[in-house]
Amino acid sequence: MIAIIDYGMGNLRSVQKAFEKVGFEALVTSDPKVVLEAERIVLPGVGAFRDCIRNLEEGGFIEPILQVIREGRPFLGICLGLQLLFTESEEFGLHRGLDVIPGRVLRFPDGMKEGSEELKVPHMGWNQLSIKRRPPALAGIPDGSNFYFVHSYYVKPDDPSVVATTTDYGGDFCSAIWKDNIFATQFHPEKSQEKGLAILKNFGEMK
């Protein structure tokens, strides 16, 4: 069973429906005990970093999340669910994250350009992945595939070896990380059509 953590932020039903579409039972849960019993964990999220960390703490999810990661169960972070894994975020001041992946969450700078065109923040829409390391979740995904993004902040790991993919938006940023049983994406697989569904299917098959 796949547990999708419901801490009051994000369109969790779209993630659940995407898993169901590729043949996996996925349960949206606000119960930390269910998270501890699940075979695979998904941490999605949209919104402000500080609010999400507060909601995770108030919901009693911090230790269960850290425990399932320590135990080596497959863990998928999506969008803010990637950022929350990091040490700290500069969104609305400095806020401490889960510190599973050492590094920071930074805002795209104003005034970024592509040629003569000024790039907007948030980064929103389809963009390509450059695959640096291929985790099981990216099996069969061609390098250069397009995925859907919506974000104003990006992650900067201290250890570049955890970077699975990068994406170019005013320069390369880390768009997915992979470390042991953890795979997390800045893009939204559930909004990325066939290739996004393929990633969720690959995750559902991970041991």
CB 135 within 8 A of CB 183: yes
Pair of tokens at residue 108: 């795209």
Q: How many CB atoms lie within 10 A of CB 124?
A: 12
Neighbours of 31 (CB within 10 A): 16
Tell me: cis bond preceding 102? Omega within 30 of 0 counts.
no
Task: Say if residues 169 and 157 touch (Cβ distance below 8 Å).
Answer: no
Beta-bridge partners for 113: 118
Which of the residues are catalytic? Answer: 79, 188, 190
**Strand pairing report for 117-118 and 75-78:** unpaired
